[in-house]
């Protein structure tokens, strides 16, 4: 299943369903970008590009999902005391 299919109806998901989906999306997003040679910092910064692109295409579910992903990554980085 591709990202578009996973995010379809994002606004209708329960908080638990959103959390589960975000975990899948973050894992997939990192694996794909790490395999292309991007650093963790570049991957995190790339989330803003996905958000901007989604907004420009009026894909607000995708945009919101990646805003939530960015927030979750920021929390995880802070909790793990990572320097990114």
In this prediction, residue 63 carries a pLDDT of 93
Domain of 69? 14-78
Query: 1 lies in a domain?
Result: no
In this prediction, residue 59 carries a pLDDT of 92
Domains in the chain, number: 1
Query: 7 lies in a domain?
Result: no
Cβ atoms of 43 and 34 within 8 Å: the answer is yes
pLDDT in tens, 37-81: 998 889 888 999 999 999 999 999 989 998 998 888 888 778 877
Question: Mind giving me the DSSP string for 1-25?
Answer: --HHHHHTTGGGS-HHHHHHHHHHH
The pair of structure tokens assigned to 38 is: 């991007």
CA-to-CA distance for 75 and 72, rounded, in angstroms? 5
């Amino acid at each position: 299943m591709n990202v578009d299919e996973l995010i379809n109806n994002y606004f209708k998901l329960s908080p638990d369903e959103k959390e589960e989906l975000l975990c899948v999306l973050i894992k997939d997003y990192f694996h794909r970008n790490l395999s292309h040679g991007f650093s963790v910092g570049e991957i995190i910064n790339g989330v803003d590009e996905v958000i901007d692109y989604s907004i420009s295409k009026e894909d607000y579910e995708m945009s919101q999902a990646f805003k939530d992903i960015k927030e979750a990554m920021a929390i995880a980085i802070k909790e793990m005391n990572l320097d990114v």
